[in-house]
Structure 1
Amino acid sequence: MKTSLLHCLAFTLPLLILLSSCYKTSKLVTTTPIDTVKEVTDTENDESTVSAETFKNKDFIPNELGRVMVLEYHLIGSPEARWRRTPQNLKKDLQLLYDHDYYPVSVHAIASGELNVPAGKTPFALTFDDSSAGQFRFLEKNGKLVIDPECAVGIVESFKKAHPDFPLTATFYVLPAIKPTLRLFAQPEYKQQKLEWLQKNGYEIGNHTWFHAQLSKLSDEEAQKHLGMFVKEMRAFLPDYEPKSLALPLGMHAKNRALEVSGEFEGTKYKHESVMLVGSATSVSPYSKRFDALAIQRVQGGEHQENPENFMNSQIKHQTRFVSDGNPKTISAPEALKEELNVRLIKKYKVNWIKTLPEQHEKDSTSIIAKR
């Protein structure tokens, strides 16, 4: 009896140890509804798999590793040209974005990844370079100053008022020391009023250098001068002004790219969290391992081949655009895109990988195209 018991223990003890080890090292995979995920602490590695069935009653599947558009405009006026968009066509662009479930966010939101976008919507940001008169114009009417309804600001404000579910904003990359037709919207008597109005009404004013200097041709000292002097001149109008974003003139980087981010000239310091390139290309998701806030691609508005409408149609057709899950604390995307995620974000966000059958993905793609 004693010998039999010893034999039994010799057989079962290793098995119990093995099972205990497997239990400790195994990872539990859960299915978590998108709208009930828990907040993640900095020490958690929190990922889960979500069935596509979760979205069977919706007309979208989230893809927060899809591409986004930062739109770039220059002159607003007539006639339509390579670097000029007519007021009517700017209105058309905004309507197109609205009709196709795009949702306006700030440049800061894209640069930081702090995206609070309704479920099923695709974020985009609106930018204007060079501060020409067509972007922001005051008119005198009955002894009062009013915003020209045909300038960019007037168009954006009017569209926002007509569509309260579409909170439009924009970043204006202005020039404080360029020729008069581009200097702070070309109405010198109203410079301060315009800059104050933009700041007060939720628009961002970005650095575009002192007078559109091509940074790639400048020494380190000269580059800091043009970026620092921009800040110094702007503070004459807005004492607490701190630019957070830089748009590179002609899209050309400085010889020392670190100086695009921060530097100092004669006691005036600057620091940027994002740097904009010149179009035309869409940007990868802020959650992608390939995203670089210091080299964000933009799409130039216009009738040329690489325009917002063509990118939009391509992204809908190929299911490559960013589609929000509606929860700013989570990142949700098809399981096939796991390798695209910036893994450092797993500590900050709850990550939901959506398991989608190939035939389901093809069906969803077809239905979305038909809907549009």
Structure 2
Amino acid sequence: MKLPKQIYLIALATSFLTACNNGKQPANASDSTSSNSSVASKEITSTDNTVKPNTAFKDFTPNELGKVMVLEYHLIGEPEDRWRRTPENFRKDLQMLYDNNFYPVSVLDLAYGKLDIPAGKTPFALTFDDSSAGQFRFIEKNGKLEVDPSCAVGIMEDFKKKHSDFPLTASFYVLPAIKPNLRLFAQPEYKKEKLEWLINNGYEIGNHGWYHVPLNKLDDAGVQKHLGMFVKEIKEFIPNYEVKSLALPLGMRAKNLALEAKGKFEDASYNHEVVLLVGSATSVSPYHKNFNRLGIERVQAGDTDYGPAHFMKLQDKNKTRYYSDGDPKTITAPDNYKDQINTQFSKSYKINWIKADSSSTK
């Protein structure tokens, strides 16, 4: 059963809002570097979402109006919990995606439908919120700085080396002014180096607010201050970098939605081409008439009945999963989706309709 979104947001707000506003460690949100944390960790409830690899997959029906996933991660560390994924389980997530014909794309490419991926593959995007140490950590080895192989970036880099046909990338929605254990990956001496390393290695830096205040609690001036101050502080480290996407703090929307995309505070302006919501739900295809790049749904990672394996199984059962036709200049889908396509794409793409399987559902 999918977790009701209202309940999800209340749970998220309860855990993280206190931490952001009061500077206290939220229950069940300690990073793996804090081995002596006094906060008790609740055991995560999981469901059996074991997935059999499908590496020899050939029999598919192209459906580029099917559903896609933007995966949402928070803490990477020990132990497994509601907002934390262990390094081992993160590796398992990547392997599950690889084995079952998913293909990594950037948030921006997904948002604009710029999908040049092999036939039979399903695009997905990776996102990380809150910039905790377990996401990106440097360690010193033989007098040199290296990426910790147990942090999320280290795991992705290792996976790419072993799977050259799986060009992993991710968007990191960081916090420049939050408490130290979430501030720009929690190694203050390496703030600039980490941000530069990410953008130089094909990752994205995104806006997550100045210090994680939900936008619905702010007036118009406050929204622009918090989003503008983010840009101002990030540019102190990477002055020429243009932040193009926003992940809403706690998933809460501004009263004036237009200010999520564009605004200005003092001399700092922002222009977000993409706005991400909080999970947990799959997104329609970027070619679908209901797709909105300023309100993209995400799926929270985890072995739960609202996690990626669950949604994949559901889509495969109902035949609603996005499958590429392998041609970036065409959009191919079953003909029962004809009323679902965003007609603006017919101007720049060739549209191919194929006879629908009577057992498929939208």
Q: Distance in 2 between matches of 1:338 and 1:121?
A: 21
| Structure 1 partner of 2:336 | 336
Q: Is the contact made by 1:299 and 1:306 (CA closer than 8 Å) also made in structure 2?
A: yes
| Aligned partner of residue 125 in structure 2, secondary structure | strand
What pairs with 1:64-143 in structure 2 (closer than 5 Å)? 64-143=64-143
Instruction: Indicate yes or no: 2:296 matched with 1:296.
Output: yes
Number of positions where the alignment pairs a residue of Structure 1 with one of Structure 2: 305
Q: Distance in 2 between matches of 1:126 and 1:337?
A: 27
| Structure 2 partner of 1:32 | none
Q: Write the letter of the residue equivalent to 2:328.
A: P
Q: Is the contact made by 1:213 and 1:249 (CA closer than 8 Å) also made in structure 2?
A: yes
| Per-residue Cα deviation, 1:114-162 (whole angstroms, up to 9, x for no partner) | 1111100000000000000000000011111011100000000000110
Shift of 1:58: 5.0
| Per-residue Cα deviation, 1:208-265 (whole angstroms, up to 9, x for no partner) | 0100011001010010000000000000000111111000011000010100000000
Q: Distance in 2 between matches of 1:183 and 1:350?
A: 46
| Aligned partner of residue 291 in structure 1, secondary structure | coil
TM-score by length of 1: 0.80
TM-score by length of 2: 0.83
Distance 1:58 1:303, change over 3 A: closer
| Structure 1 partner of 2:287 | 287
Q: Which portions of structure 1, spanning 4 or more consecutive aligned residues, are displaced by more than 6 angstroms?
A: none
Q: Is the contact made by 2:304 and 2:310 (CA closer than 8 Å) also made in structure 1?
A: no
What pairs with 1:195-274 in structure 2 (closer than 5 Å)? 195-274=195-274
| Aligned partner of residue 210 in structure 1, secondary structure | coil
Which of the two has greater helix per residue?
Answer: 1
| Structure 1 partner of 2:168 | 168
Shift of 1:304: 2.5
| Per-residue Cα deviation, 1:84-115 (whole angstroms, up to 9, x for no partner) | 00000000000000000000000001111111
Shift of 1:303: 2.4
| Structure 1 partner of 2:185 | 185
Q: Distance in 2 between matches of 1:241 and 1:164?
A: 27
Which ranges in structure 2 are unaligned for 5 or more consecutive residues? 1-56
Shift of 1:357: 5.2
The structure showing larger relative contact order (alpha-carbon pairs under 8 Å, at least 6 residues apart) is 1
| Per-residue Cα deviation, 1:60-106 (whole angstroms, up to 9, x for no partner) | 11000000000000000000000000000000000000000000000
Which ranges in structure 1 are unaligned for 5 or more consecutive residues? 1-56, 363-372
Identical positions, percent? 67
| Aligned partner of residue 336 in structure 2, secondary structure | helix
Specify the structure having the higher radius of gyration (Cα).
1
Report the RMSD for the aligned CA atoms in angstroms: 1.3
Q: Write the letter of the residue equivalent to 2:171.
A: T
